[in-house]
Structure 1
Amino acid sequence: MRVSIILAPGEMKQYVIFPLDFRRYFISLIKSMLENSPLFNRFKQERPGYSPYVFSVNFQKIVNIDTRMQQMWVRPPVYLLFSTGLYEVMTALCNGAISLKGQDTILGLKLRHINLLPLKEIKSSPQVFKIRGHAVLRGRNGYIDAAESTVEELEEAINTHLLKQHEFLRQEYGQSLSPRIGKIKVIPSASSYHKGVCSHYGGRLTTLQGSIALDGPADSLQFLYNFGLGVRTGQGFGLLEVR
């Protein structure tokens, strides 16, 4: 289940200035949307565990990037794409978004529109996924670096996160999820991923960008589509699109 939330400045502008470390503001926006739901309790926990959703922030156009100033100029509107496999999470988010419609939110943006997107069901394998922005994968020796890590290390990281997240979400948020999922395999010949670097909370993260072809049970691929690839999905990383 996915919803696209469209934000734009209160006044007509050709562009708006964003910090390169912009995801933290959208994390705060999602907190505001979930403030009156039971899900808000996870934000009060020191270690809340895996997120029951994934999101990405997309721009109509990035006009310019100034790495020295750590800023970028983007052409509005701005799109917050939110995804989950849990009805109660989607309901809470949409209700919160509706309550903020037309109001000032973050970075001088007003919440303009809320569009529920068609349900996508994955019934076959393999699938080629496009990574929206960046994905973060943690391996045995730190974050996965696509320029240096092997396919086997990438697969191990994906499957470790996948199985742990599935077990956690079934225990914490709902038995409606598929009771059993299996491991997936990466198909290098059909993939086109590369190393990325991303500003986040004042630091720099090594990430994965591009597209990735995965083979495995359809339930596993659906879970990744719904909840995201890797870690920090609740911080704006790992949202996948089916190509």
Structure 2
Amino acid sequence: MDLGIRALPVIYRHRFGAMIKAALRASSLSTYNRYFPEGDSPQYRYYTFNVAFPKNRRTECDIKIDDQFIIHECVYMVDEKPVSLYISSPDHEFLIHLYDGFRTMERFPFSTDTGMTVNGERLELIVRDISIVRRDLQIQDDVITIQTHSPVVLESETGSKPLIPDIEDIDFFNKVSLSEYSEAFGNSCAHRLASYSGVEPSRPFELAPLKVKKSVVKHTLGSFRKETGKPLMMITGLSGTFTIKGDPKDLSVLMDMGVGVRTVQGFGMVEPAAG
């Protein structure tokens, strides 16, 4: 879908996540409650999203996150140029309700009651165009090359540290071996697929980076700020191309669901590489 907004702070993913939740709630409360149950959180939600917009004009501004935090950070001056929000999921019911919810939405407040303003200015997302793009992912091979649209993030089991493979050109203080990285990726994908379908993958997943780079993304969540007393978190992942090995049917579902962790926060959107 195409949206309009004057400017986007570097910490924008959580507001697009909130927009997705609002559209789903407006269309189907039962589906919303299944994905976002009150007082509880499902281990997995079966979608991912990515936001694409021009990044050539940027400046430093005061961003008020909430009543506690004001930061001086990068803001992209998109000036009403198209901002594209892409969402994918293997859950067709979820996507239909989401589409119906967006159709009732003319605009969405990027700014909140307490913040997300830029130099004191409130921002809103204007809905311009909504469309469904059908990806015919009839994967036939058990090894495919994928490219990222948003960084792939893997974290330790406790969530206390990012996992980055030991690749020569990537600088990171605490790398893990390629085999450890592939195993963590395979376990993450297997757990999500089993949770979605109720069936374990027919064979293990294996991942190998081809041409990748480290991506560090500035991000914020209310729960993180409350727990740590810090305004920002730094999410470290990989962008580029990988090969994935697995059952073709499982790989097709995985492409729609997203890979890695934090997919519903705007990470891990991938697709088979062209050519």
Same fold (TM over 0.5): yes
Structure with greater strand percent: 1
Q: CA offsets, 1:134-164, max 9 Å, x none?
A: 1211235732124422221221111111111
Q: 1:54 aligns with which of 48, 59, 68?
A: 48
Ranges in structure 2 where 5+ consecutive residues have no aligned partner: 62-70, 111-122, 221-231
Match of 1:72 in 2: 75
CA drift of 1:123 comes to: 2.1
CA distance 1:222–1:58, shift in 2 (3 Å): same
Q: 1:214 aligns with which of 236, 239, 244?
A: 244
For 1:151 and 1:72, the matched residues in 2 are separated by 35
For 1:150 and 1:65, the matched residues in 2 are separated by 38
What SS does the corresponding residue of 1:155 show, helix, strand or coil? helix
Match of 1:187 in 2: 208
For 2:104 and 2:39, the matched residues in 1 are separated by 25
For 1:47 and 1:104, the matched residues in 2 are separated by 24
Instruction: Give TM-score, length-normalised by structure 2.
Output: 0.74
CA drift of 1:130 comes to: 1.2
Whether 2:185 is the aligned partner of 1:158: answer yes
- Root-mean-square deviation (Å): 2.2
**After the TM superposition, which residues 1-243 of structure 1 pair with which residues of structure 2 at under 5 Å, given as runs?**
5-9=1-5, 16-36=6-26, 37=28, 38-41=30-33, 42-43=35-36, 44-64=38-58, 66=60, 69-75=72-78, 76-100=81-105, 102-106=106-110, 107-121=123-137, 122-140=139-157, 142-146=161-165, 147=170, 148-171=175-198, 180-188=201-209, 191-201=210-220, 202-243=232-273
Q: CA contact under 8 A between 2:150 and 2:270: conserved in structure 1?
A: no
For 2:3 and 2:44, the matched residues in 1 are separated by 27
The amino acid of 1:70's aligned partner reads E
Aligned length: 224
CA drift of 1:179 comes to: 6.6
CA drift of 1:53 comes to: 0.8
Rg: which structure is higher? Answer: 2
What SS does the corresponding residue of 1:187 show, helix, strand or coil? strand
Return 214-223 or 87-96, whichever deviates more: 214-223
CA drift of 1:52 comes to: 1.5
What SS does the corresponding residue of 1:109 show, helix, strand or coil? strand
Instruction: Give TM-score, length-normalised by structure 1.
Output: 0.83
The amino acid of 1:99's aligned partner reads T
CA drift of 1:24 comes to: 0.6
Return structure 1 stretches of 4+ with deviation > 6 angstroms: none
Identical residues among aligned pairs (%): 24
Q: CA contact under 8 A between 2:21 and 2:32: conserved in structure 1?
A: yes
Q: CA contact under 8 A between 1:135 and 1:229: conserved in structure 2?
A: yes
CA drift of 1:71 comes to: 2.3
CA distance 1:8–1:104, shift in 2 (3 Å): same
For 2:186 and 2:56, the matched residues in 1 are separated by 33
For 1:97 and 1:193, the matched residues in 2 are separated by 34
Return 129-138 or 224-233, whichever deviates more: 129-138
